[in-house]
Amino acid sequence: MAVKIRLQRFGKKKQPFYRIVVADSREPRDGKYIESVGWYNPIPEPMQVEIKEDRVIHWLKRGAIPTDTVKALLRRKGIWLKWSLIKQGKDESFIQSEYEKWFQLQVDREKREKERKERRRARKKEKGKESAEQGEAPSQEG
């Protein structure tokens, strides 16, 4: 039996909501599944993802193959890092320390991105004020 970890679509038109499920690859996308291991909501900013880490690793150990999208979500949550370290035969304390380093890097990256967005917004606001002032200046002179 070819087992995959994939998305199962729910929600209304133009408002998708996905369950992350373990399913036989021969079943239809929204058909029968073996186990639900999480959910993914791409609509809000930032997107929301909830995954049962222990169950995903259990199924990966049993040979389940994640789809590209699910693999990207696992990477985003750090589960794929843990899985790759488990495959390399690293001990639990090493895996935990590596995960903590990775998590801190993610927090720092998010902080930098937020600061960059704020700087861009401020720059854009200043340019808008300058262009408005330049647009008003010629009309006052003439």
80 is a domain residue? no
The pLDDT value recorded for residue 125 is 85
Residues 34 and 62 reside in one and the same domain: yes
- Counting residues of the chain whose pLDDT is more than 90, the rounded percentage is 67
Q: Which residue has the higher pLDDT, 137 or 3?
A: 3
Count of domains in the chain? 2
Domain with 26 in it: 1-75
Residues 27 and 69 reside in one and the same domain: yes
The pLDDT value recorded for residue 67 is 95
Residues 115 and 46 reside in one and the same domain: no
The pLDDT value recorded for residue 139 is 53
The pLDDT value recorded for residue 29 is 84
Query: Where are the extended beta strands (E) located within 29-113?
Result: 35-41, 48-51, 65-66
What confidence category does residue 133 fall into, taking pLDDT thresholds of 50, 70 and 90?
A: confident
84 is a domain residue? no
The pLDDT value recorded for residue 46 is 84
pTM, two decimal places: 0.77
Closest alpha carbon to 82 in 103, 66, 107: 103
Q: Residue 32 CB: number of other CB atoms within 10 A?
A: 9
Domain boundary residue among 48, 75, 102? 75
The pLDDT value recorded for residue 60 is 94
Radius of gyration of the chain (CA): 23
The pLDDT value recorded for residue 84 is 92
List the structure tokens of 115: 């600061």
Residues 23 and 70 reside in one and the same domain: yes
In the predicted model, what is the mean pLDDT of residues 61-85? 93
Closest alpha carbon to 10 in 35, 29, 27, 24: 29
